[in-house]
Chain A
């Protein structure tokens, strides 16, 4: 198995202790199929993969390959039409209402367009990451606990926004806004991070900074990451594992180090033609 060998090497590469025992993957996706309308085209045509607790896994592929759909299926922002998604040992597709919300609060998500509430302050945006844990009374008065506020302050310092705490979110630059998004996701104390094109709205220099920061924080908090990214070079630099997709199929799954030029050519074959 290509990628199981990869886990161990990946852990060594990231300076983590080496696991020898068999372990259950954090996320396991089997035969996932998605089509948005019952008669429409299939976006995902049967995807299998799993993510382990040590993975920083990138999904790459040409645009329209279904990367974003794949990521959104994991927390059911998109409803899968067939297949199985097992996250933290729970069948994601079987969850209803409150169960789904309780699962979602364990998943941190960082979005392409940051998805901040522009008219709220940076602090409130970060604190909104705790909403899943906040009762109706507290959320109505925006009265978050002391602990949450301390954590938010710490995270804002960690992402370098300590001087922008009370600014409105739309007063920040793109890179700064994505840092707010990162802090919001980490507020959840996530057990897995989903990144949906976190850098494609940013310029190349800032993209590298942001990805570096995410990598650093993921290592620090020991959170596995599933990331969809269109910048192959950046993916190879930051991530330890690559899943290559093309037109709804998985074309490659393996270590970033082991990726050859012909693998890339295969993934991007459609675009070359």
Chain B
């Protein structure tokens, strides 16, 4: 039977080690730095690690004892159902206006087809980044301060949120298009708007529709809580019941929110799949 043996060659062998001086050292330093930051964070924020693990059983216990029989009567009340409808309205309006504003902004913020790289491109980028960077609840509070309580503030906050969310996705999509048709249209002598309509839009229409539906889905998720800060809709009920410690009512509202968000997600997923098939 043939047995392979380790042959000991006479020639001197080059040695090898996993450790490479500059790159491995840098990597270890970075990992060490991250670990140090994590350790410092735990110490600085005064976090008791046993409480972290205890939090989940504790949450389950509280849910089981205090929140348990959800007050179904509260959420089947006509006022509450009206607030659900209003939440839906806000998300639709915010999604619509947000998408409508973000398409031109995304056009400016797409490096390959922007009108001018010097002025329009940074402007578009900055506008999208600013609306993305600030959380929707902060937008809500700001609009509520200026415009007063109500759905107008919530709708505007959602609009800004959608501009940031959809604008990013739109401009990424635009930057990935095939530039061939764009060049063809430009060589025909088409203006920027014509180029956008004839060479760019046909390429991204399906993707944009999918993103728009997804944006609405996310906007609806956000709309459930804008009311918490005075933006109108069902979030206001959430705030009132939590502040008055009416836990069973909170539980009912949370269940409604989860159910609606799941429905919205299923619906938007189904629609997006259908649209992707039309491609």
Interface residues of A (CB under 8 A from B): 26, 53-54, 88, 123, 142, 147, 149-154, 162, 165-166, 186, 189-191, 221-224
CA distance A222 to B2 in the complex (A): 5
B2 and A191 form a contact (CB under 8 A): yes
- 1/0 contact trace for B1-43 toward A, CB 8 Å? 1111111010001111010100000000000000000000000
* Range class of the B interface residue count: 10 to 19
Q: Which residues of B contact A26 (CB under 8 A)?
A: 1-2
Cβ contact within 8 Å between B4 and A165: no
A189 touches which one: B6, B13, B15, B18 (CB < 8 A)? B6
For the complex, give the distance between the alpha carbons of A152 and B17 in Å. Answer: 12
Also in contact, A190 and B4, with CB within 8 A (given A142-B18, A150-B13, A166-B20): yes
Contact A223 B16 (CB under 8 A): no
Q: CA of A151 to CA of B14 in the docked complex: distance in angstroms?
A: 11
- A123 touching B16 by the CB < 8 A rule? yes
Given contacts A26-B2, A222-B3, 12 further A-B contacts (CB under 8 A): A53-B1, A149-B16, A153-B13, A154-B7, A154-B13, A189-B4, A190-B4, A191-B4, A221-B2, A221-B5, A222-B4, A223-B4
- In the complex, which residue of chain B has the Cβ closest to the Cβ of A54? B2
Closest B residue, CB atoms, query A147: B6
Cα–Cα, bound, A154→B12 (Å): 10
Query: Are B4 and A162 touching (Cβ within 8 A)?
Result: no
How many angstroms from the CA of A154 to the CA of B15 in the assembled complex? 10
Cα separation A221 to B3 with both chains bound (whole Å): 7
Question: Mind listing 21 A-B residue pairs with CB under 8 Å?
Answer: A53-B1, A53-B2, A88-B1, A149-B16, A151-B6, A152-B16, A153-B13, A153-B15, A153-B16, A154-B7, A154-B9, A154-B13, A165-B16, A186-B4, A189-B6, A191-B1, A191-B2, A191-B4, A221-B4, A221-B5, A222-B3
Could you say which residues of chain A place their CB within 8 Å of the CB of B16? 123, 149, 152-153, 165
* Given known A154-B13, A162-B14, contact A191–B3 (CB-CB < 8 A): yes
Task: Determine the chain A residues whose CB is within 8 A of the CB of B18 once the complex forms.
Answer: 142
Interface centre among B4, B6, B9 (most CB of A within 10 A): B4
Contacts from B to A (Cβ < 8 Å) = 1-7, 9, 13-16, 18, 20
**Which A residues are CB-close (under 8 A) to B6?**
147, 151, 189
CA distance A150 to B7 in the complex (A): 11
Question: Please, how many angstroms separate the alpha-carbon atoms of A222 and B3 in the complex?
Answer: 7
Point out the residues of chain A lying under 8 angstroms from B14, CB to CB: 153, 162
A166: chain B residues within 8 A (beta carbon): 20
Complex CA gap A222/B1 in Å reads: 9
Contacts of B3 in A (CB 8 A): 191, 222
Residue among B2, B5, B6, B7 having the largest count of chain A Cβ atoms under 10 Å:
B2
CA distance A142 to B19 in the complex (A): 12
How far is A189 from B4 in the complex, measured between Cα atoms in Å? 6
Chain A residue nearest to B3 (CB atoms) is: A191
Q: Measured between C-beta atoms, what is the minimum distance from B15 to chain A in Å?
A: 8
* A165: chain B residues within 8 A (beta carbon): 16
Residues of A within 8 A of B5 (CB): 189, 221
Provide the residues of chain A in CB contact with B1, threshold 8 Å: 26, 53, 88, 191
Cα-based distance from A191 to B20 in the complex (angstroms)? 35
Chain B residues, CB < 8 A from A162: 14
Residue of A with least CB distance to B6: A151
CB nearest to A217 among chain B residues:
B4
Closest Cβ of chain B to A118, distance in Å, is 19
When C-beta atoms are compared, the residue in chain A nearest to B9 turns out to be: A154
Give the docked Cα–Cα distance between A147 and B7 (Å): 11
Q: How far apart sit A63 and B3, CA to CA, in the bound complex (Å)?
A: 33
In angstroms, Cα B18 to Cα A47, docked, is 46
A166 to B4, CA, bound (A): 26
Closest to B20 in A: A166
Among B6, B9, B15, B18, residue most surrounded by chain A Cβ atoms (within 10 Å): B18
Whether A223 contacts B2 by the Cβ 8 Å rule is: yes
The complex places the Cα of A153 from the Cα of B1 at a distance, in Å, of: 26
Whole-angstrom distance from the CB of A242 to the nearest CB of chain B? Answer: 20
Sorted from nearest, which 6 A-B pairs have the closest CB atoms? A222-B2, A221-B4, A189-B4, A53-B2, A53-B1, A153-B16
Chain A residues whose C-beta falls within 8 Å of the C-beta of B2 in the assembled complex: 26, 53-54, 191, 221-224
B113 smallest CB distance to A (angstroms): 32
Which of chain B's residues have a CB closer than 8 A to the CB of A222?
2-4
